[in-house]
Amino acid sequence: MKLLGYWRSSAAYRVRIALNLKGLDAELESVHLVKNGGEQHLPEYAALNPQELVPTLIEGDNEFVLSQSLAIIEYLDEQYGGAMMLPKDLKARAEVRAMALSIACEVHPLNNLKVLQYLTNTLELDEDAKNAWYHHWIHQGFSAFEKQLEKHAGTYCYGDEVTLADLCLIPQVYNANRFKVDLSTYPNIRRIWDNCHKLEAFQLAAPERQTDAS
């Protein structure tokens, strides 16, 4: 099994956490999103992932190639044993998916690298304007997520077991911290960040721990 990703990619970060929680060994291969105009745009990578995004999971000799982090995580959950990322109860599973998607589909895409590059390179926004954009969408998304946590959170986002919701939240908090977003008004988000980082699976998945970190 091979995971093609990038150390700072939120989506790859999610999958690294899942692999660690499930005790799965995967060769981590770097696809540098910035160097040389972005290695994700190289023809050989685009042949594997036409969206030219990371991560991409490969099993065997290109026998099974899968993109999109949530699809990868659910595949790993259903294919392999170990810790499960989704509850067994149907309604609980749907609620966890809804929480995860509120980060992965509503917050993350607006603050993804290709969007930030478009803001600065094409629309010619300055750094302050780009950061204002970033902070706006984080606050909008995290304000809603904090309310979801008031209803569902225990030790983690949904009760006292790590779920897909935690795998989506933690990379987004990491990026919010990197962009110096004030998270003081989100006590549950900050508490869950602290709780998740007591677990080795999250510690080992951290961007700074990756071999391509720079």
Instruction: Tell me how far apart the alpha carbons of residues 52 and 82 are, in angstroms, rounded to a whole number.
Output: 31
Q: List b or e across 19-30, with b for residues whose CB sees 16 or more CB atoms inside 10 angstroms.
A: bbbbeeebebeb
Q: What is the pLDDT along the chain (214 residues), one digit of tens a residue?
A: 999 999 999 999 999 999 999 999 999 999 999 998 999 999 999 999 999 999 999 998 888 999 999 999 999 999 998 899 999 999 999 999 999 999 999 999 999 999 999 999 999 999 999 999 999 999 999 999 999 999 999 999 999 999 999 999 999 999 999 999 999 999 999 999 999 999 999 999 999 999 999 8
pLDDT tens, 74-110? 999 999 988 999 999 999 999 999 999 999 999 999 9
Instruction: Tell me how far apart the alpha carbons of residues 85 and 102 are, in angstroms, rounded to a whole number.
Output: 16
Instruction: Tell me how far apart the alpha carbons of residues 13 and 55 are, in angstroms, rounded to a whole number.
Output: 9
pTM (global) more than 0.85: yes
Q: In the prediction, which pLDDT does 214 show?
A: 87
Instruction: Tell me how far apart the alpha carbons of residues 202 and 204 are, in angstroms, rounded to a whole number.
Output: 6
SS (H, E, C) 44-59: HHHHHCCCCCCCEEEE
Half-sphere exposure at residue 115, Cβ-oriented, CA atoms within 13 angstroms: 11
Q: In the prediction, which pLDDT does 161 show?
A: 97
Q: 133: burial class by Cβ within 10 Å (0-12, 13-18, 19+)?
A: middle
